Chain A
């Protein structure tokens, strides 16, 4: 009996104590609410579209939920604690917030589902927004989504938050930490929507597929340089992790090298994936592949005369 009790304790208590890893280290109401609202609207939209006879495929819905779940996991579980006290996990957190999470959400093309799931009074209210509010908001987003400004902002935010003195304050002050993570997530969604959403969906904001490929390659280069710089440096850049204590025993340089590699390689990989998605759009977009002018007649072989 005692043995059974001991067995139960040794087998079961890790499971029970492990549950706390799923709970928020620090509860951020904005993150929690945003995730709950996104999931609620999406589920309502799925039901509405099914009723109207145009159900959404499993893959699309799964991709959306996976994107939301990953973002939630890096902000509202024990990962958040690790990200505050280990540089490389902080880089992993930002890889999710700025790259992987937004890419999954955008690839799921959730616009129609979210619109179908938004309660009618809210949709009506949105349509009735006076132009003195609507116009500046649209202008603001058009500026953010400008083909020169969007990539500059995307790369600029990474460099900004990784500037050692700024990184120091972001890890010390909860408000700055939250601002940092929100700015990465929002910018990630804006940037990857601009890069990956089909032209028909983007409407007037759309930029050409060729331009997108240039932008995707262009943003990879500074990320690779920054990642290599961090990974290959022989002295620690970010003293805050020593000051506040690391999550477990690891040498500061190992931590920095792993963080640099995570800034360097997966970021470049994400650009490659982005280019593949854009190529896929090009092949399936009749407008993009249609020749603009008739092809010239084949040249006469030089030696035929």
Chain B
């Protein structure tokens, strides 16, 4: 079930919008991902990257940023999503160098700098692994209104982490633009990112 927030909320004024869109050819059809411009807080964080360097949102202000929360021991959802994003970026061609995928670990106990570096390297040069302590993670989870929690460990001490599936997409200067959900496809990401690169 795909929810296009922008269109559904403004269903009442759909007719007017059609006229406006026809008059203003630059805005074009709606994005395939949910449009969250003005709804989600601008990009802001203080974390450590996979090289052990402290980084903030300002370091990525010239890029289109995809923000995703997960953990390297994730059996299914994280690798699937990251691989799909990797393919979407590859399809962008040389423009992909202006896009960064920030993978924030919600499992900093197991996801050390070294583990993160090895993990994000699998997906492409645009992937950045980020980690922080629980205080920093709590601040981020409040800011982006996401949740994660640790399940009980098995007899080997392994545990799974339940977490959000959202991919927050920010335009340049950290302005929140789109929200990817689990049913969005590689093609949709590519075409939406291409438009964002052209417009922002």
Contact = CB atoms under 8 A, between A and B. Distances in A.
A202 interface: no
B62 interface: no
The B interface, classified by DSSP as helix, strand, loop or mixed, is loop
A166 interface: yes
A85 B147 contact: yes
A249 B150 CA distance: 10
Contact of A247 (B39, B145, B147): B147
B146 interface: yes
A172 B177 CA distance: 13
Interface string A8-39: 00000000000000000110000000000000
Contact of B9 (A84, A165, A239, A247): A165
A25 to B, nearest CB: 7
Contacts of B182: 242-243
B165 interface: yes
Interface in B140-187: 142, 144-149, 151, 162-166, 179, 181-182
B130 interface: no
A243 B40 contact: no
A177 to B, nearest CB: 8
Nearest to A25: B142
B9 A172 contact: no
Interface residues of A, number: 27
Nearest to A176: B39
Nearest to A242: B165
Given A165-B8, A168-B34, A245 B147 contact: yes
B9 A246 contact: no
Interface in B2-24: 3-5, 8-9, 11
A222 to B, nearest CB: 20
Nearest to A82: B147
Given A172-B179, A249-B151, A243 B36 contact: no
Chain B contact-residue range equals 20 to 34
Nearest to B2: A239
Interface string A265-296: 00000000000000000000000000000000
B20 to A, nearest CB: 19
Contacts of A236: 1
Contacts of A152: none
A243 B179 contact: yes
B36 A172 contact: yes
Contacts of B142: 25-26
Contact of B39 (A163, A172, A235, A248): A172
A265 B1 CA distance: 28
B168 to A, nearest CB: 10
Given A169-B9, A244-B166, A247-B149, 11 more contacts: A166-B9, A172-B39, A173-B40, A174-B41, A239-B1, A239-B181, A242-B165, A243-B182, A244-B147, A245-B146, A247-B147
9 contacts: A84-B147, A172-B145, A176-B39, A243-B164, A245-B147, A245-B163, A246-B162, A247-B149, A249-B149
